[in-house]
Structures are given as structure tokens and as C-alpha cells.
Amino acid sequence: MSEKNLIPELRFPAFEKDGEWTVSSIDKLCDILNNIRKPVTSTNRTAGPYPYYGASGIIDFIDKFLFDERLLLIGEDGAKWGAYDNTAFLVEGKYWVNNHAHVLKPIGIDEKLLESYLVKLDLNPYITGAAPPKLTLRKLKEIPVPVPSTPEEQQKIASCLSSLDELIAAHNDKLDALKDHKKGLLQNLFPQEGETVPKVRFPEFEDDGDWVEKKLGQIGVPLMCKRIFKDQTTPNSENRIPFYKIGTFGKEPDSYIAPELYKEFKSKYNFPKKGDILISASGTIGRLVVYDGEPAYFQDSNIVWLGHSEKEVSNDFLYYCYSIVNWQTSDGGVIKRLYNSDLKAISIKFPENEKEQKKIASCLSAVDELITAQQQKIEELQLHKKGLMQGLFPKIES
């Protein structure tokens, strides 16, 4: 292993003359407390206030604790070990740890610095076995760790990353608050079970009377695209039309069809209009995508939409009706496939006044835009943190 020029690309000015970093190992930098950890089967756990940690985080709360100090856990098995998979995480307070996570007490390195480096690192080269794959203690000890030459530099880097984590956490709290706000709006702007009007109504519609309740089959008819066979698709996207299967619905496509086939099927068979709400009818039932009008094709009975007149129920309003539908069976089980008969039997409530529908949809859409902007902000901060971590730690050449 070469330690030549072990200097990070980004360095705080105060430490530029402090020389190269050194390379150490986990067993030299940490006390390993694996002998204290202890598994407790689910049948033997008694509910309580103390977190019960496994390979990737809290899996339960129990009535006893093993540790009462700030320590670093890293998944031994049943975890993900890729770069930025958060395999390593700091825990504090009173808690219990099972035998699926290594327990480390950093003594020769700042704990936040070590956590950040291990999170940044791709640990897959240290994983052994296949059933299940495992980060053994021996392999854990082999992981080289770059260490700044002074404690002050360690603390400066750790403080920088901690501040960024706090900022991300604050933005996540704001995102959760926005989602809770939307949930409250949905509960109040739509009539609840047994009600004919919502609890909260815009003033201009208070005298408009009761909402109408109808089954979707009374409003329109379930539609789907013509079936596309596997031999009609290709993974090659060049000059092709995206074909969305249930596995790529709402994501990036991995299959494409010829433009000629797209034009033929679009002209001859059912095809969604711009603004129609596509519904996943298998896999995770009830995932929604609003068709944006761009050339694309969709997997027959796995992706459906309601053909209806927007004069009765606008698509903008219908989207939020779908978002509060309980996509479960009558006994609380999960629907494995949404058949046309199931979709037609779903009841929704709506105001007959098109203006009220649009007002409600516009209100909820505005909150959705805030949620999307907040999610983008968090993603930008996370990318910024990744960039910092890449620059603040030197690369160790093997």
C-alpha cells in the first residue's frame, strides 16, 4: 500500500502546511466492543424505551440496554456496503445492539470523521461469503483509514460535516412538516367516511350543497394500451420510443419500441390523453403518474387509466381522489392485482361545481410543488456533502 502524497484535494487553509496524512487501521483507532453485543429473539423481547439496533439501524425498542455511550456501529451482515450506503452510523444514549453490527469505540480518531470516511468508502471489496455476505471482524480490521496529522484538523473536518448533517436534518424536518400539512389538507378538504361535505370548504362554495358520491365505473371506463410483446422491444434507446413496464413505471425506462409501431398502436388502440392519470395495476398497486403527453407507451393491463369526461370530474381533482383511495382488500390485505372490476367499484366523492374541483386541486398542487422543491433542496445538499467528502479525504492507493 502506497502512502505517497496522502493529502486531500480540499484542505482548510490553517492546515495546508501540516504535511501528509497517515494511514492507520480500525483495530488501532478503535476499541472493538463486539463481545458485549447480544442478540435477543423477537419472542424474548419486552417492549420498552431503549432502541434495539441491528445492521442498518433501529429494528425494535426494548426494556433493557447494553450500552450508554456514543459509539460507532457498522453492519456485519444483512447490510449494504456500497459507497454512501450509510453502513456506519453513530449512536448514543441507552441502547442495545445485536450481533449483526460491529460495535466500535473510536479512541485514536474523531468519531464523526471515522463515520464519514466509512460511509464514503465502498466496502464491498472487504465483504466475504454469499449466503449471507458478511463483513467479518478480520476484514473490518484490514480497512485502511487516512488520519489527519493533527487532532485540530480532524475536529475541523468533523465539525464541517456535522454542520452539514444538521442542515440536511433541518430540511428533512421541513419536508416532513410539508407532508404532514398535505395529509391534513387531504383529510379536511375531502369528506370523510359517512360525511357528504368536507370539514373545510372554500367560502365561495359553502352554499353549494352536498358532494356527489359515485363509483368510478359510473364516471368512466378503465382503459389500457395494446399489448406489446417482448420481441417488439429493445434496450437500445436510439431513435426509439420509451416503453414503460410495471417495474420502470414512474422511473427511467429500460425498454423501447420502434416509432412506427408507436404511431400505429397510438392511432388504432386506446392511448392516454395528456393529463390522464396512469395507475399501476400490479406490483405496488395505486402508484400514480400523470401522462405528460410526451411520446411513450405503457404495458397493457399492468398500467391503466380511467377514460372519462373531464366535464364531470377533472383529472387534476381525480389525481387527489386517487391519492386517498385505500388500495386494499376489504379484509385489510394488499391487492395483488387491480382488475378492471376493482377499479370500477371504487367510490369517490366530488363537488359538482367544476370551479370547486379546480380550487381544491390547485391548493394541493401548490403544496406538492413546495414538497418537490424541498426534496430537490435536500438532494442538492446531499450531493454537496458527497462532493465535500470526496475532497476532504485523500485517496489511498492500493
Phi first, then psi: what are they for 213, rounded to 5°?
Answer: -115, 125
Task: Tell the CATH topology of 21-148.
Answer: Adenine-n6-DNA-methyltransferase TaqI; Chain A, domain 2 (3.90.220)
* CA–CA separation, 354 and 335 (whole Å): 32
Beta carbons within 8 Å of 232's beta carbon, 6+ residues apart: 257, 258, 261
Q: What is the pLDDT of residue 396?
A: 86
Rounded to whole angstroms, the maximal C-alpha distance in the chain is 79
Name the phi and psi angles at 31, rounded to 5: -85, 130
3-state secondary structure of 253: coil
Closest Cα partner for 344 from 194, 214, 190? 214
Distance CA 301, CA 289 (A): 15
Q: What are phi and psi of 268, to 5 degrees?
A: -95, -30
The tens digit of pLDDT for each residue in 288-321 reads 999 999 999 999 999 999 999 999 999 999 999 9
Instruction: List Cα–Cα distances, 124 to 25, 34, 85, 130, 266, in angstroms.
Output: 17, 21, 11, 12, 46
Q: Could you give the residue ranges of the DSSP H alpha helices within 14-60?
A: 26-29
3-state secondary structure of 272: coil
Q: What is the pTM of this model?
A: 0.86
Average pLDDT score, the chain: 94
* pLDDT value at residue 334: 61
Q: For the CA atoms of the chain, what is the radius of gyration?
A: 27
For the chain, give the percent of residues with pLDDT over 70.
97
Residue 305 has phi, psi (to 5 degrees) of: -150, 165
Q: What share of the chain is helix, strand, coil (3-state, %, to 5)?
A: 35, 20, 40
Q: Report the C-alpha gap between 319 and 376 in whole angstroms.
A: 22
Position 329 pLDDT exceeds 90: no
Q: Do domains 21-148 and 212-350 have the same CATH topology?
A: yes
Domain residues of the chain, as ranges? 21-148, 212-350
- Assess if CATH 3.90.550.10 describes domain 212-350: no
Can you give 81-136 as a three-state secondary structure string? Answer: CCCCCCCEEEECCEEEECCCEEEEEECCCCHHHHHHHHHHCCCHHHCECCCCCECC
Counted residue by residue, the chain has a size of 398
Say what the pLDDT of residue 46 is: 97
User: Residues 150-176: what's their mean pLDDT?
Assistant: 97
Residue 124, C-alpha cell as written in the block: 464491498
Residue 1 has pLDDT above 50, yes or no: no
Note the pLDDT tens digit of each residue in 206-247.
999 999 999 999 999 999 999 999 999 999 999 999 999 999
